[in-house]
Amino acid sequence: MRLLLFAAALATLSGAAFAEGRYVNARFGYAICVPGGLTGQGESENGDGQRFVADDGAELIVYGAHNALGETLEDRRASALERLGPASYRAGGRDWFVVSGRTGDRVYYVRTTLRRGVFASFELTYPSAAAARWNAAAADLSRCFRAR
């Protein structure tokens, strides 16, 4: 039933839908709420996702990818940590993981799912000075993020 509702949402908001604070990616079948203050930069040329930026230096990147190389979630987690730095928070389940930490004066929060051979991810990064605002947004994004 949940999959049918998600499919209906995708059909209603076809393609690179970004309306009323929500971005839906039809190519990879994921959706995410977009917090106020973030401005979309347009869907990527290959349709895998979009980048959103805020005036205070926060950035949200959402993207999908086929698991053509047969990677595991642990492979993706290790890659994120190698790129972003050590995590102070880690969580995960059968088909998802979250890592969060600090690199220099920036905080990062990454969530990735692997379902039906497709990775769907979002990365929120922001200046430490803006943590009061964006820490709560990271939790909201994680609750709102949906992948089929």
Pick from 131, 128, 141, 139: nearest CA to 30: 141
Query: Is the four-CA dihedral 32, 37, 38, 39 of positive or negative sign?
Result: positive
pLDDT of residue 8: 40
Domain spans, the chain: 2-147
pLDDT of residue 58: 97
pLDDT of residue 31: 97
Separation between Cα atoms, residue 40 and residue 18, nearest integer Å:
8
Query: What is the per-residue pLDDT across 76-100, written as a single tens digit (0 to 9) for each?
Result: 999 999 999 999 999 999 999 999 9
Query: What is the per-residue pLDDT across 103-132, written as a single tens digit (0 to 9) for each?
Result: 999 999 999 999 999 999 999 999 999 999
pLDDT of residue 148: 86
The yes-or-no verdict on residue 53 having pLDDT over 60 is yes
Pick from 59, 61, 64: nearest CA to 48: 64
Pick from 59, 8, 63: nearest CA to 30: 63
Assigned fold of 2-147: Protein Transport Mog1p; Chain A (3.40.1000)
Residue 65 in tokens: 């990818």
pLDDT of residue 124: 98
